[in-house]
Amino acid sequence: MAEPWERERSRMVEEDLRRRGIHDPRVLDAMAAVPRHRFVPEEERPHAYEDRALPLELGQTISQPYMVAYMTQALRVRPTDRVLEIGTGSGYQTAVLARLAAEVLTVERIGDLQGAARDVLEEIGVDNVRFRVGDGTLGWPEHAPYDRILVTAGAPTVPPALRAQLADGGVLVIPVGEPDLQELVAVTRAGDDYHTTALVGCRFVPLVGDEGW
Ligand code: SAH
């Protein structure tokens, strides 16, 4: 039964990702390897390899594959990196990051969602992820600094705690803007200097918390 999914996944990688400009071979390999259908609700499985966001429980969404690949490419993850992810959601993006990094630490405010994500990640053999339920706008200070930080919910501004927890030379990728429309930005840190680059328009569910909405 695995084969039809694999065919659909290869089609997604070729047509929706490579042809639309995703070029990092490590990112394309990760997208070709992670079984997205395992992370979407049962009734959405037939759509698992279409290039669109799909509904999760409690009004949250699993991001569109192109956006997952785009954000991952923009993050420039190296094999030795420790990555902080805010917004575990389904765990799909977590699985992609886990293939590229040494370790992923992921924070989600909704415990039930993270519980389900954790089960799937375990079932597919991902073992380099640490989980925390809480407000990710405050980061995860106990394990800071992080080489890379990825936020997968839309923020009003870049949360100061996340800037502070970014390692020197690190990269933070985050959607910033209005609750229903944002711009993806990359923040790079060099000492006490932070440089922000605007990347692309996007639409994520709101980042809800002390330093969010
Ligand atoms: N990367 C996920 C996207 C999930 S949507 C995926 O592909 O499945 C964004 C997630 O961010 C939601 O699950 C939402 O509950 C979570 N979220 C929103 N605000 C948060 C906060 N302050 N801390 C942690 N998670 C948050």
pLDDT digits (tens, 9 = 90+) for 162-196: 999 999 999 999 999 999 999 999 999 999 999 99
Which residue's alpha carbon is nearest to atom 19 within ligand 1?
207
How does residue 3 score in pLDDT terms, banded at 50, 70 and 90? confident
CA of 185 to the centre of ligand 1 (A): 17
The one catalytic residue in 60, 63, 106, 114 is 63
Query: CA 60 → CA 108, 114, 154, 203, distances in Å?
Result: 11, 12, 12, 12
Report the chain's mean pLDDT, rounded to a whole number. Answer: 97
CB burial string 67-95: b at 16+ within 10 A, e below: bbbbbbbbbbbeeebbbbbbbbbbbbbbb
Active site residue 90: no
Indicate whether 1 pLDDT > 80.
no
- The mean pLDDT value for 113-119 works out to 97
CA of 1 to the centre of ligand 1 (A): 31
In contact, 173 and 150? CB cutoff 8 Å = yes
In contact, 105 and 92? CB cutoff 8 Å = no
- The mean pLDDT value for 127-141 works out to 98
- The mean pLDDT value for 63-85 works out to 98
CA of 5 to the centre of ligand 1 (A): 26
How does residue 2 score in pLDDT terms, banded at 50, 70 and 90? low
**Could you give the percent of the chain with pLDDT greater than 70?**
99
In contact, 194 and 163? CB cutoff 8 Å = yes
Interval 21-63: pLDDT, tens: 999 999 999 999 999 999 999 999 999 999 999 999 888 999 9
| CB-defined site of ligand 1, < 6 Å | 60-63, 86-87, 89-90, 92-93, 107-110, 113, 135-137, 152-153, 205, 207-209, 212
